[in-house]
Amino acid sequence: MSRESKKPNLIYIFADQLRYSSLGYAGDLRAQTPNIDALCAKSTDLCRMVSGHPVCAPYRASLFTGKYTTSTGMVINEIRMNPNHHTFADVLNENGYETAYIGKWHMYASELGNHYDPKNSYIPKGRDRLGFNGYFAAYNFRHEYSVGTAYYHLDSPEKIYYDKYEPDAQTDMAIEQLERLARGDSPFALFLSIGTPHDPWEPDNVPEECLRRFAHTDFDYPPNYLPENDPHADQWARLSEEERKRLPEWMRVYYAMTANLDDNIGRLKEAVSRLGLEENSIIVFTSDHGELFGAHGRRAKNIFYEEAVRVPMLIRWPGHLEEHVRRDCVMNTVDIMPTLLSLMDLPVPLGAEGKDFSMAVKGEEVRDDGALMMCTGPTAAWGDGQEWRAFRTRRYKYAVYRSDQQEFLFDLENDPYERINLAGDPEYRDRLEDLKRRMYSRMEAVGDRFESNTYYRDHWVEDRIIRHTATI
């Protein structure tokens, strides 16, 4: 088969906890991301991409199934995914693709904690890999990236330790796989899940050279910083007084990690070009969610504010997609699989709940339907009280908590830092009711009954393993 007649390859790169607002092309003058910025200049920029559930495991479950959290059952971190879905990788396999997966997985644990035990860190061959039947060099999750602590598994529980900083080593592995895959006749899909810039933001968790780049950069509290904790925050989102004092230094490490990530994006771009893969490969660069750094009285993610949910989404496909253009459609995590499969002229599984935005990516105007976002519980522990739903359009965002029905309405055009809650303003009552109606309509369409977190524990999950879901 000639290379010209092949189906397009897919190279999907996703960082962990990288927010849209901390990139150079998004306007952050502190960022040192020249390679990502250059990729943006050659890509279609889906500039209003949001994380449908801004937590690591729920995002990944939605990415690979095209289903909302309330359908996958991945309602918190550190539970085990039900593998009986028709997944992204399944479709790729059925259409002659070779797959490769490198990096963090985060859908196989069955304990809270004990991350380093192979029974939680090793993902065995078979359906638990959700169709990734080719090269698979992964670990469930951890967030130490330095030599001596960072490791992965292949096809056995044996830990293989990286011989260099983890993102650098993972990029080496990705390039090696690209070199191998480029020699074959089959189209391929490579997924690279890089763990940075996720915390811990300790100086020894990032290369010293990257940290030195920010030695003279000023980091201060964000414009929407609050000195008191958000009363709705779970234990992972609350800040102690000591942690508040460390926020500027945490940000320094975060930006250094992002700079290292950028270096590796540059190396990947060079390899794609060198191997002659550029013309027939779709390159995606994105992230699972963002980070608050004290905004709105919170750290971490798991909240509807822009710092947590708005993520980069760049798609490059020379000769097929326009370069250096912005599309302002509001895309959600569940929309990624249907959109990419459609761009690749591959079938979308019947069970997928996301929307196909492929025509919007190509430049066709679409109606501002808005994105449904959700939190179905605390980040990793079982417990009720943090559940919320939100609905974002190009300009407005509506949100409500399950516990006390507190409502929020933000005008993102005039209030980008979401400091003014308009929910109680009579002038915006019609706007609030419209967004609320549209949100609940979307929820009804996908069977989301706004259940408590413990409902899923009691009805769908056994020993932190998802046994049943709404669709299986």
Q: Do residue 207 and residue 256 come from a single domain? A: yes
Helices 34-41 and 241-274 pack at an angle, to 10 degrees, of: 50
CA separation for the pair 13, 150 (Å, rounded): 19
- Spot the catalytic one: 47, 56, 210, 375: 56
Question: Mapping DSSP to helix (H, G, I), strand (E, B) and coil, where does residue 80 land?
Answer: strand
| Domain carrying residue 448 | 371-466
Helices 56-65 and 336-343 pack at an angle, to 10 degrees, of: 40
CA separation for the pair 450, 16 (Å, rounded): 27
183 occurs within a structural domain:
yes
For residue 50, pLDDT over 90 is answered with: yes
- Of 328, 361, 394, at which residue does a domain stop? 361
Residue 184's CB is within 10 A of a number of other CB atoms, namely 9
Residue 221's CB is within 10 A of a number of other CB atoms, namely 15
- Of 361, 392, 413, at which residue does a domain stop? 361
366 occurs within a structural domain:
no
Q: How many domains would you assign to the chain?
A: 2
Q: Mind listing the pLDDT tens digit for each residue in 322-370?
A: 999 999 999 999 999 999 999 999 999 999 999 999 999 999 988 878 9
Q: Do residue 352 and residue 389 come from a single domain? A: no
For residue 372, pLDDT over 50 is answered with: yes
Does the annotation mark 47 as catalytic?
no
Q: Do residue 49 and residue 89 come from a single domain? A: yes
Does the annotation mark 329 as catalytic?
no
- Spot the catalytic one: 53, 85, 86, 106: 106
pLDDT for the residue numbered 149? 94
Q: Do residue 203 and residue 348 come from a single domain? A: yes
Give the pTM. 0.97
pLDDT for the residue numbered 5? 54
- Mean pLDDT for 135-164 is 96
Q: Mind listing the pLDDT tens digit for each residue in 382-439?
A: 999 999 999 999 999 999 999 999 999 999 999 999 999 999 999 999 999 999 999 9
- Of 340, 361, 382, at which residue does a domain stop? 361
- Mean pLDDT for 46-56 is 98
CATH value at residue 390: 3.30.1120.10
